[in-house]
Structure 1
Amino acid sequence: MTTMTNNRATTNALKQIPTVSIYGLPFSKMGMDETIAKLTEAIENREVTHVITANPIMVMSALEDPAYHSMMRTAELIVPDGTGVVWAAGYVGEPVTERVPGFDILHRLMALGESKGWSVYLLGTDQQTIDQAAANLKQKYPLTRIVGVRNGYFGPEQDAEVVAAIREARPDILFVARSASTQEPWISRYKNELNVPVIMGVGGSFDIIAGKLKRAPKVFQKLRIEWLYRLLQEPYRYKRMLVLPKFVIKVVREKEKVTKARP
């Protein structure tokens, strides 16, 4: 009964957001400002909202794994983080307003939290990185309270302990940075228990905030090749990056099928 109720609530929430279906995944057409307004509303109303900042790699993973596809569809909001998704939406005639990077959402919410009195919990990566990221965020946004910090190196046997700690801290926002295969499924599984208004996976954002990595310069962002800059910093990611041309080829070949619902 609970599952049915949650699915119905998710469906209703998604109907209120203009979306384009990319292989059955409802990507928001909203721009950054509209997205922040939607998340502000969720926080003020204490409505659990799982935000997935998706890219072509995630779309391809979802197509290969039906369980991952189903999990992504339970999210209340999927935003087009990857430039490949923005291109695909335009290519099939259903353009999104703009790319909505998770890194920028994080900073916009942290900045807004200063005037709203919001609290944030940081979960993920290694302890040294997450501690440094927390310190840097506190320095930049001193009025947004960070009420919890924990590394992401824990197994299923510790899930209950982690969930309990987050529930006790009662943050308005939870940012999670774990492995690609773990991050979104973990959020999806525990979001209702966590009862945090906005929960968002942030991938490698904490590495950049902590100073371990650099974000792509503006010129790379404007040319929509941030992925190349990241590959230059982390060459070992090349196998994941090989998915990008495969995604482009697939969309071009299946243009008429891209927006059709997937089982």
Structure 2
Amino acid sequence: MPFDAVTLDQACDRVFAAIRERQRCFISTPNLNFVISASDDEVFSQSVMLSNLNLADGMPLIWAARWLKLPISERVAGSSLFDELVIRSSVNRPLRVFFFGGDPGVAEKASAVLNGRSDHAVCCGFLDPGRGDVTSMSTPEILAQINAAEADFLVVSLGAKKGQAWIMHNLDALQVPVVSHLGAVVNFVAGTVRRAPLIWQKVGLEWLWRITEEPHLWKRYWNDGIMAVRLFARLLPLRFKRCPPAHGSVTTEYDTDMGMHLVLSGRPSHPEMERLYNFVNEFLQVSSCVELDVQQACVDDAEIAALIKVLSTVCSAGGIKLKVLGESG
């Protein structure tokens, strides 16, 4: 699963830019439970792959990234992002938030709390769609109510899988620039659940605090813990896997008729891979075909493997022909 290697400040900058330009920013905040669930649920996995911003929301993921020497050094929790956006918003241009979902009455309470405590953010609407399926929560009346509020940030709280599925189902119809499933945020804002103190978050014990606040979560965290042990057992030898040093190269070319042509060799550095992603983001929307040549690249490298997976998912969803040269398996 791919992640954006961004800090909290950088994530805030991306969100504010999307709000200013009224451009779509679908944010996913994968934690360990996301990764585990996505491993055997292709639809759920694709919802993350097709997101505009993926934040590593879990210390086990940060520890795994450090072990694999990936440039993801900071946990960016969805609730931390929301709080920081509220703090950094201005009185002249307050952040407009719409709460969708949550337990009965919680979104309404969160709306009252947010409007009463902050001059930098305003809840411009809330809606409890009930406990139906995605289709019943996606009626024209519901979407019209959300769009009429003219929100900057739509906070969805329906449970991770249903929430991601609802966003994917309605993304094209939504006029809100920033959309994310942040299940716990509505509870934290409403005060029905207390968030863990900062020290608990930093040492990776927020899960334990969550169990004391919401005892029904113990089973999920127990299962996550078992899967985490298995995950790290698989990651253990990868740190020592022989791979070319990070001095490979990236060649990019776009032709109106031929589409996008990408050539990777060796193991490109993180800045080179970032330049590649920027190029892909710029031209993917106008390409009918993409050719990715990794015949001379270290395809076992985590970043190259992620690139192949992301391109495969995005091209498939957009009806773009993808040809990968040199990939095995």
**Smaller-chain TM-score range?**
0.7 to 0.9
1:254–1:144 CA distance, 2 compared to 1 (3 A): closer
Secondary structure, counterpart of 2:55 in structure 1: strand
Residue 114 of structure 2 corresponds to 137
Task: Confirm whether residue 228 of structure 1 aligns to residue 204 of structure 2.
Answer: no
SS of 1:42 mapped into structure 2? helix
C-alpha deviation, 1:152, in angstroms:
4.2
**Equivalent position amino acid for 2:54 in 1:** I
C-alpha offsets along residues 130-178 of structure 1, whole Å, 9 cap, x if unaligned?
1111111112223423221112425322412211111122211111111
Match of 1:194 among 164, 168, 174: 174
Q: What TM-score, normalized by structure 2, do the two folds share?
A: 0.68
Preserved CA contact (<8 Å) 2:4 2:54: yes
Q: Hey, what does 2:101 align to over in structure 1?
A: 124
Note the C-alpha offset of 1:182: 0.6
Q: Distance in 1 between matches of 2:226 and 2:44?
A: 21
In the alignment, is the contact (CA less than 8 A) between 1:26 and 1:73 conserved in 2? yes
Structure 2 residue aligned with 1:157, among 136, 141, 166? 136
**Which one has more relative contact order, counting CA pairs under 8 Å at least 6 apart?**
1
Report what 2:66 is aligned to: 90
Match of 1:109 among 65, 69, 85: 85
Q: Is the 8 A contact 1:27 1:78 kept in 2?
A: yes
Paired residues of 2:2 and 2:49 also in contact (CA < 8 A): yes
Deviation for aligned residue 1:106: 0.9
Runs of 5+ consecutive residues of structure 2 not aligned to the other structure: 239-299, 313-329
Residues of 1 paired with 2:225 and 2:175: CA distance?
Answer: 35
Name the TM-score, length of structure 1 as normaliser: 0.84
Structure having the higher Rg: 2
SS in 2 for 1:38: helix
- Of 180, 186, 190, which aligns to 1:206? 186
Kindly state the Cα deviation for residue 181 of structure 1 after the two structures are TM-superposed. Answer: 2.1
Measured on the aligned residues, the alpha-carbon RMSD in Å equals: 1.9
Structure 1: 5+ residue runs without aligned partners?
1-24
Contact persistence 2:155–2:182 (CA under 8 A): yes
Residues 9-88 of structure 1 aligned to structure 2 (within 5 Å): 25-88=1-64
Q: Kindly report structure 1 stretches of 4+ aligned residues shifted beyond 6 Å.
A: none
Give per-residue Cα distances to partners, 1:56-85, cap 9 Å, x unaligned.
Answer: 110111111112111211110110111111
| % identical aligned pairs | 27
Stretch of structure 1 that moved more, 42-51 or 203-212: 203-212
How many positions carry a matched residue from both structures? Answer: 239
SS at match of 1:159: coil
Determine whether 1:239 maps to 2:215.
no
User: CA separation in 1, counterparts of 2:234 and 2:149?
Assistant: 49
CA gap 1:29/1:158 in 2 versus in 1, 3 angstroms: closer
Query: Pick from 230, 235, 250: which aligns with 1:249?
Result: 230
